Each structure stands twice: as structure tokens, then as C-alpha cells.
Structure 1
Amino acid sequence: MGVTTERLPRSQVLLEIEVEDDRLETFMEKASRRLAQRVRIPGFRPGKAPRQIVERTLGRPALIQEALELLLPDAYSEVIAEQKIDAIGQPAFDLKSMEPLVVSATVPVRPTVDLKDYSALRVPRTEVTVAQEQIEEAITNLRRRFATLDPVDRAIEWGDTVRADVTVTVDGQEEEHKEEDAEFGVLQGSTVSLPGFLDHLIGLARGGPYAIEFALPEDFIAADLAGKTAHYSVTVHEVKQEILPDLDDAFVKSLDDAELETVEQLRERMERNVRAQAEASGVTAYQEEVLDLLLANSELDYPELLVEREVDRMVDQQSDHASHTPEQLEQWLQQIGRTELEVREELHPRADLAVKRALVLGELAMGEGLTVEEDEIEAEIDRGMDQFIGASRGEMPEEQKAAFRQMFDTPDYRASIRNQMLTTATLGRLVEIASQPEGEGEEPRARGSRRRRGARAEGDDATEAEGGEDADAAIVSGASTADTEGAGTSPAAGSEA
């Protein structure tokens, strides 16, 4: 076969394949016999019509198209192997010519990533501070868990709980949504029904019905409702005021915590908790800042296929796996009032960022020779079993333990653990590099284009190769090793240097 190749943008290769006449002729005969079995030809039993009759009846283009379906899989595999093309997905075929038979194939190939001199990357760390207001807010939230709700004869205020009949329609929608005797909190920063609804309840007294109208935000998540007017009818049956317990030693003792007896001890506990949360958030924010700086300094070329796979994963996650069947997906889309195209377009930027983050993390893991050992995966599976089964694991018969372990020890779960642990280790190494004082660190890495991901150069040691394989497996399968909302949402949040 005659083959020409052309490198295209977005990690694609264009193949132009010319099929020899004698090879085509062999498959034309096979195509004729197959068509004769499927298509009714007058005067002949199924499969008995000679090729000339089949070609005259159906036309030569139909015969060539059938022959292509038979010969292309093997022909394409041969070309990929001969040209050493590292394909990561199915090609898009296009028939260029019938005489001679020429077919083009656009093939997505493994991405290329150039991290530049990442050893010089530096990002100053911000000291974590905790304000007294944060501690007081945490204590108030704790008291709210033990609050009582007392009916009051006054207008609705923020913090109240309301019991009401609520009916809502939105311009352009025929169906109205009605809920009777609904009870909900009127809390600042929260959303009940549609955004803006709670704001319009403030100042309303028991009674009604009240007519409420307001425009929905232009950037509302349901694009078909954005900017439209919502019409409410609200009848308020009851307004309840939240009564918090007094903050005294008696309240602290009622928490039934042996380490807490006084308000002062509670404040110290809350301060530690708030500080720990702030430090964890600080680590996450720092990881994202460093990762995005690494990304900004890198050069990437990757196929759109990877982004589409990530969008698929995100749709599956958001729909609670409704995307597994067309019927379930359609039902979910109807529930949220969106089309599949709208959902995919909205998710695309986040998916694109997730792919880019995963690519630079994968390249960094390979460059630093980071790996995940099998015993680490085994230990993580054991931890997962402990969390699932609890203390009863030690009392279980061995057969039952083995059955539970089989539930956890699957190829997909092991791959997920490996990817997560590799992400954790890679982010930890990146933070270690970026948080060094200016002027300290390793010798600069060589600049210039890295080899294609997954290709192994002479002299690569086994450690680097294994790290690359771990990272590559995640990229090619479409798994994201960097969370779409930020790299720090994985266990890497604790891996600062």
C-alpha cells in the first residue's frame, strides 16, 4: 500500500492510504458475496448472484463501500504498525478517491508536553491566619445544631424558618411547580427554589397569598431559564425564630465530650479546627497556584479526543451515572431542563483545564521518576475495606473477608488508586520545588521539546519508565489525574513539603 503521513495540530496525524488494485479485487469478491446474502436480487437465491450481477444491480460504488468495510480494519492496523504511529483513539476515515482507491485517516495520537525549566519555578507561600470572627462563626454553627424553633408573630427575617405554600412558574414554561406546607430556612447565602426567592420573603408576615416576581440571573445554570422572569405565589403559614442555646459551661458539658467542660476549652478546640481547615484550604490553593504556573510555562499539544472523554466522565459524574443508557440520560436532561449539547458546552472549559493539568502532572511524574508501588495499592485497598466494613472486619470469617476484598480489588479500582496516589506524590514534589527559597534547588532541566509521551528513549531507567507508564495510562484512558475544580481536592492536600 502507498502511504503518506502529515502531522496536524492538536496531536493528530493525517494518513493517506492508497490500496493496491489486486488487494482491492480480493475484497471486492468478498463484498459481492456478502451483499448477495443481504440484498434480494431478482432471479437468484440469497448468496448465489454472481459478482457482475451484484455490481450491475447495486452499482460499483456500493460494492467498493462494502469492500472498504472489510479491508480497512486490517489495512489501517498494518499502516499504524509500519509507520510507528502511537494512536490513542479511533481514526476518522474519509474516502478520497475510488479509482484508484484512496482513503484518508485522521488519527489522534499521544500528546506532547514540554515543561520547560520547572526546577526554577518558585511561588511564595502565604501564612495562614485565623480571624476571631471565624472562630465565633464556628461556635455559632455548633450552637445551631442544638437550636429550637419558636413560632413568632412578626415579619420574616434572615435566619428564620418558614412554613408556606409556594407556587412558581417561569416565563416560557407552561407547567407550574407547587409545594404545599413546605418548611425551609431563610438563610443568607443559601438558595431555596430559585436564586433570589429568599430575598423577596424578607419583610413578609404570616398570611397571603403574596405575588412575587423577579428576573433570574443572566448566568443562571439552566440556560433556558436565564434572564427570564419567575412568578411566585406564596402563602405564609408560620414564621419560626431560631433560639440558640446559651454559650455557657452547661452547654459545653451537654456536648458529651470528655475533653470539653468549659467555654474556654470549646473555644480552643474550635480555633484548632478552624485553623486546620484554613491550613488545608491554603495547601489546596497553593497547589492550584503552583500547578497553574507550571501549566502557564509549559507547551502542550493534545487531541480534542481527551477533552471529550473528560466531558463524558463529568457528565456521568454529574448525572449520577445516568449517561450509561440513552433513556436515563434523556430523563436526567429533562429533569435539569437542558440539552446534552448545552451541558457539554458548559463543561468543556473545565474539562479542557483538567486535561491540561493532568498532562503536565503526568509529565512531571515521569520526569521525576515518581511511581506507585503495589504494596501501597494493597494498603489503600485494606484501608478502603476498613472504612466500609468497620470494626467487624476482625471478627469476619476468612471467606467473607475474601469476598469483600474481591469487591474492592478490581482493575478499575486499582487503576483509580494508582492515579490518585501518583497525583498526590506529584503534587507533593511540585510543592516541594516551588516552595524552596529563591536561588536554591536543583540544576535547571534541559529546555526544548520533550519526546512524545509514552515513547521511551535510550538510557531511561526503570523507575522513570514506570512513572511514565502510570501517568500515560491515566491520560490515554481519559481518566483525569487533576480534579476539574482544582488539584488539591485529592488526598494530595496533605502532601506539602
Structure 2
Amino acid sequence: MKSSWTLKEHSEGVLEVIVDGDVWTKAQKHAFQYFKKNITMKGFRPGQVPEALLKKQISKEAIYEQAVENIANTVLAQAVQEQKLELVARPTLDYKDASDESVTLDFNCVVEPEVTLGEYKGLDIHKDEVEVTDEDVDKELERVQDRYADWVLREEGEAAVEGDQVVIDFVGKKDGEAFEGGSGENYPLELGSQSFIPGFEDQLIGVKTGDVKDVNVTFPEDYQAKDLAGQDAVFTVTVHDIKYKERPEINDDLIKQLKRDGVETVEKFKEVTKEDLTKERERQAEDKFTSEVIKAASDNATVDIPTVMIENEVDSEYQQFVQRMQQSGFTVEQYYQATGQTEEDMKAQMRPEATDRVKNSLVLQAIVKAENIEISQEDVDKEYKEMSELYKMDVNQIKQLLPAYQVRADLAQQKALELIKTSVK
């Protein structure tokens, strides 16, 4: 068996393999036996047709085609290893020059693209400093007050102010015609919550119980229902009740209602809240820093990404979206019906971020090679153990789901990312 690799454009090429000798002879014999076992002829039981008669009935082309099918996977694996290729998609196969002595297989392959690294060390990127003020903690206390607040009915004649809850009926019309999903009854709307279309809630400030008011709005250009996006509409609103929020006093009794272990006083709540906010903001700052670092290294690199790699990433993300929908009790069809979108719309939205993820991964792989980063078996075993503890699964189960080469590749990319982060100015 002889193989050769010819790289063409966009990381696509042809892996040519000439198969001859015993390998090809045996493949043809196995192909003939396949036909002998499966072919049926009148007057003979299956598998009992004489070989001389079979050879007259079965064409050479049929034998060659079956023989190629029998050996294609084995030949491909050997040739890929011999040429040290990294395939990113299943190749397509053509064969030519088939004879009793040899056959030439042409595998049309897409391989991982070459990455030309730019600057990735000493990047001028800074991590945000984290600060939690007393005001931040006080806002968390206000949220506790809101959680246990009561809605109290305003007296007749009192006008609604921001923060009040108005109980309303509403009917929306576009060009004088009511539209689907544009009406509701006895809907409790908190003014200032920004849960309705921009401008809707602002126009209800100052209304009184019993008022009927037309609210004029323009739907956002990116509104999920395409037939309404960017369109003007009028909502006729009837106000039934207006309520204001009566917050409880901030004291130890209020904090005890939270039933948090070890947190029973206002002072303890402030202490724990400040610690929690600090950790959360540090995590956010680290995530932002990491994102900016890898984006900078990726922007400085040059790579022609094969379309199939991006589409595979999009398909993977789309399947995760479908699973999330199912877990929430909805089908994607119901989602599309509610939003007016299609599968193609969703995938088009996913494609830019999917492209970035693919490029980031390729750049990190290139840095792994450039820096000769290696992952020991001890590192792999440690990662399996940590995953076992995290997911409460047996290590052997995890190994079946996630092979060692994938763990090693992931850990290597993590080390490459840490190298970039620790080298910033």
C-alpha cells in the first residue's frame, strides 16, 4: 500500500492510496464470498450457487466496488497515520484504475488548517479591579425588603408613580387590527420593571384607577415576532387597580426570614453579602479578562477555517438548544411558532460565535505546539478523578464518555491559555 497527500485550497486535499498485492487480492476474495452468501438464483439454495456460474453472473466492477467498501476504513486509517493528517470531517471516497492487481482510492479530505500565530505573549490587557461598596450591600438589603414587601391598594384618585403596580386590561392593535398575543386581562405590571415594550410603562405613570388610555409604542427592530418588529402599535389600556409597595423594616427579624445558615442578623448579612459579591465580581472580572485575552491572541492570528468545522460547531450548539427546550417542557416547533423564527434563523444567529470558538480553539492548539506544552498521564488521571467527584460518577464511566486524548487536548489548551494570561503586561 502506498499513500500520498496533495493539499489544495481551504484545508481540502486528496489522500491517494494505491492498494495492491495480498491486501487487494484478499479483498476481492472476500467480496466474492459476500456475493456467494447473499445472492439468490432460481434452482439453488442461498449460498449453494456454483462458483463457476456465479463468476458469469457477477461483474468485475461489482467485485471491485464491494472489495473497496470492505477495505476503505482500514486503508484510510493507515494512510492518515502514515501522512500524519488531522481530519476534521468524514472524507468522501472515489476509486479508479481498478484491476485484479491493484486499485487506487482517492479520499477527499478536510484537515485542520494551518494557523499563523501573531502576538500572544505580553498582550496589553488588564483585569478589572473589583470593589464592593456599602451602597452595593445596601441594594441587596433593598432586594430582601422587596422580596417580603406587601402590595397595598392606593386610594381612589391617587396617581400611579414609578415602582407602583398597575392591574390592567390591554388590547394591542396594528393598523387598526388586533394582533395575536397583544391582549391580556387583569395583568399586574410593575412600572419601571421594563418588562413591556420600551415606552409602554412610562406612559402609564400618572394614570388613576378606572382610566382608559391609548399607549402608542414602536416595537424594537429585533423583536422576536418578525411581523411586529419595527412596527407601530396602539394599546388600549384599562386601569383596574393601582398598588404601591410597602417594604418591611430592615432588622434582624427580616433577615431571619431568609433562613440562611449562620445568617440571622443584619450585620452578619452585610458581612456575608459583601464576601459573596466580591467573589462573584472577581469571577466576572476573570471571565472578562480571559475572554479579552483569547480574543486578542485570536485576532492577531491568521487562519482559513474550513466551513465544515464551523457548521459542525453550529450543529452541536443547535442540538444543545433543542435539549434545553425539551428540558424546559417546550418543543423547538413551539418556540418557532411563538417567535416567528426558523431553524435557519437560529443557526444564523449561532454562526458568528461558533466561528469565534472554532478559531480560538485552533489558535490555542497552535500555541500548544509552538510552546511544546505536554500533559502527563498524572495530569490526565487527576482530571478524571476531579470529574468523578464533581459529577458523582465512576471514573471508568467518565473514561467511556470522554477518551483520554480529548482530556489531554483540553488540558493542553488550558495550559496555553494560562500561559497567555500570565504573560500580559
Give the TM-score taking structure 1 as reference length.
0.61
What CA distance in whole angstroms lies between the structure 1 residues aligned with 2:410 and 2:78? 36
What CA distance in whole angstroms lies between the structure 2 residues aligned with 1:244 and 1:68? 78
Q: Which residue identity is paired with 1:228?
A: Q
Provide Cα deviations, 1:37-77, integer angstroms capped at 9, x if missing partner: 89xxxxxxxxx99999999xxxxx99999999888767766
The 8 Å contact of residues 370 and 425 in structure 1, kept in 2 or not, is answered as no
What CA distance in whole angstroms lies between the structure 1 residues aligned with 2:417 and 2:282? 16
Q: Which of these residues, 129, 142, 150, is aligned with residue 140 of structure 1?
A: 142
Q: Secondary structure at the match of 2:221?
A: coil
Q: Which of these residues, 183, 187, 190, is aligned with residue 185 of structure 1?
A: 190
The 8 Å contact of residues 381 and 408 in structure 1, kept in 2 or not, is answered as no
The 8 Å contact of residues 10 and 301 in structure 1, kept in 2 or not, is answered as yes
Query: Residue 109 of structure 1 corresponds to which residue in structure 2?
Result: 111
Query: Residue 292 of structure 1 corresponds to which residue in structure 2?
Result: 295
**CA separation of 1:237 and 1:289: change in aligned 2, threshold 3 A:** same
Q: Which of these residues, 323, 326, 334, is aligned with residue 320 of structure 1?
A: 323
Q: Secondary structure at the match of 1:345?
A: helix
Q: Which residue identity is paired with 2:143?
A: N
Higher mean displacement: 157-166 or 281-290: 157-166
What CA distance in whole angstroms lies between the structure 2 residues aligned with 1:333 and 1:296? 35
Superposition pairs of residues 165-204 of structure 1, within 5 angstroms: 165-168=169-172, 175-176=180-181, 178-188=183-193, 190-192=194-196, 194=197, 197-204=200-207
Q: Which of these residues, 307, 311, 314, is aligned with residue 308 of structure 1?
A: 311
Query: Residue 410 of structure 1 corresponds to which residue in structure 2?
Result: 398
What CA distance in whole angstroms lies between the structure 2 residues aligned with 1:17 and 1:183? 71
The 8 Å contact of residues 108 and 303 in structure 1, kept in 2 or not, is answered as yes
What CA distance in whole angstroms lies between the structure 2 residues aligned with 1:160 and 1:79? 72
Q: Which of these residues, 371, 379, 382, is aligned with residue 386 of structure 2?
A: 379
The 8 Å contact of residues 120 and 296 in structure 2, kept in 1 or not, is answered as no
Shift of 1:175: 3.8
**CA separation of 1:253 and 1:175: change in aligned 2, threshold 3 A:** closer
Superposition pairs of residues 55-74 of structure 1, within 5 angstroms: none
5+ long unaligned stretches in structure 2:
41-48
What CA distance in whole angstroms lies between the structure 2 residues aligned with 1:364 and 1:262? 50
Does 2:241 correspond to 1:238? yes
**CA separation of 1:336 and 1:74: change in aligned 2, threshold 3 A:** farther
Q: Which residue identity is paired with 2:88?
A: I
Q: Secondary structure at the match of 1:373?
A: helix
Q: Which residue identity is paired with 2:310?
A: V
Query: Residue 167 of structure 2 corresponds to which residue in structure 1?
Result: 163
What CA distance in whole angstroms lies between the structure 2 residues aligned with 1:313 and 1:304? 14
Query: Residue 340 of structure 2 corresponds to which residue in structure 1?
Result: 337
Shift of 1:145: 1.7
Query: Residue 45 of structure 2 corresponds to which residue in structure 1?
Result: none
Q: Secondary structure at the match of 2:317?
A: helix
Query: Residue 129 of structure 1 corresponds to which residue in structure 2?
Result: 131
Provide Cα deviations, 1:164-198, integer angstroms capped at 9, x if missing partner: 3344567899644544333343344x434x55544
Query: Residue 44 of structure 2 corresponds to which residue in structure 1?
Result: none
Shift of 1:350: 0.7
Larger Rg: 2
What CA distance in whole angstroms lies between the structure 2 residues aligned with 1:105 and 1:173? 59
Q: Which residue identity is paired with 2:398?
A: T
**CA separation of 1:160 and 1:223: change in aligned 2, threshold 3 A:** same
Shift of 1:352: 0.8
The 8 Å contact of residues 114 and 298 in structure 1, kept in 2 or not, is answered as yes
Shift of 1:344: 0.8
Give the TM-score taking structure 2 as reference length.
0.69
The 8 Å contact of residues 217 and 234 in structure 2, kept in 1 or not, is answered as yes
The 8 Å contact of residues 377 and 414 in structure 1, kept in 2 or not, is answered as no
Q: Which residue identity is paired with 2:423?
A: I
What CA distance in whole angstroms lies between the structure 2 residues aligned with 1:90 and 1:421? 26
Query: Residue 430 of structure 1 corresponds to which residue in structure 2?
Result: 420
Q: Which of these residues, 273, 277, 284, is aligned with residue 276 of structure 2?
A: 273
What CA distance in whole angstroms lies between the structure 1 residues aligned with 2:65 and 2:200? 60
Query: Residue 43 of structure 2 corresponds to which residue in structure 1?
Result: none
Superposed CA RMSD: 5.2
Q: Secondary structure at the match of 1:237?
A: strand
Corresponding pairs, count: 405
Higher mean displacement: 238-247 or 152-161: 152-161
Q: Secondary structure at the match of 1:134?
A: helix
Q: Secondary structure at the match of 2:423?
A: helix
Q: Secondary structure at the match of 2:148?
A: coil
The 8 Å contact of residues 171 and 178 in structure 2, kept in 1 or not, is answered as no
**CA separation of 1:243 and 1:323: change in aligned 2, threshold 3 A:** closer
What CA distance in whole angstroms lies between the structure 1 residues aligned with 2:211 and 2:65? 71
5+ long unaligned stretches in structure 1:
39-47, 56-60, 386-404, 436-497
The 8 Å contact of residues 12 and 111 in structure 2, kept in 1 or not, is answered as yes
Q: Which residue identity is paired with 1:410?
A: I
**CA separation of 1:240 and 1:4: change in aligned 2, threshold 3 A:** same
